[in-house]
Amino acid sequence: PRRRRRVGLRVATSIEPRRSPSRNRTGFAPSTRIVGRALRKARRRSSSALISRAVPRPWTRVDARETPEGLLELRSRGDDFMLLVGGRVLMTSMLHASEVRLGEVGCEPIRHRKAARVLTAGLGFGFTLRAILDLVGQDAHVCVAELNGIVIEFGRGAVAHLSKNALDDPRVQVVQGDVMDVLRKGRDGDLDAFVIDLYVGPGFASDEVAALYGPRALKAVHEKLRTGGIYAVWGEQLED
């Protein structure tokens, strides 16, 4: 009689990957482990970067001097700078579009005049001055009046790079003093542009504002500007 063959299934209870000298106990090549570690490190770096961007860095004091108006402070945070007096923020390097635009509005119409003469005030971080220098010719003369000698010192030192070293430009003359005094000492009909960017604009009623923007001041400006001259003023609000 024929012998019946036994038919059955062999079931594997566990499956293990084949190992080779180039593989570890997990069965995966060492290169796979390296890639995995690199991905985990990248995720950690990305998370740290997100956290650092979400939490702003504190401002640090660069310099501080006592003035009649209060403590004048220069602070920095990374590449940003802030100027304060008596705890009041005067300007920051982050927001300076209006300063640049003022220089452009004041000097764009005279950019092709030969030996143009410009008077501007105050210095601040030098953004208005830089905009003026970028427009006028190489034969121009630009006088910048600044009341505070400490601001001039900062402009030559700690924040000089913000204006691309505008105070070192041979076309620039720096005068420490009241801009209206500087204006009145000049010759009549000598200025092509008078550009004012001061801490306080013409929108407030005070003796200081009247001295800068009142009828007597406007008469002096009119006398010093030549025909076709430009008078450009920064202010917090539009005036009627």
pLDDT, tens only, 133-159: 999 999 999 999 999 999 999 999 999
Burial of 124 (0-12, 13-18, 19+ CB in 10 A): buried
Structure tokens at 187: 């010759």
Q: 45: Cβ–Cβ under 8 A, 6 or more apart, which residues?
A: none
| pLDDT value of position 50 | 52
pLDDT > 60? residue 31: no
Structure tokens at 65: 């001097």
Each as own residue / partner, the long-range contacts of residues 54-62 (CB below 8 Å, 24 or more positions apart, any chain) are: 62/158
Output the CA torsion sign for 134, 233, 92, 208.
positive
Q: What is the mean pLDDT of residues 204-229?
A: 90
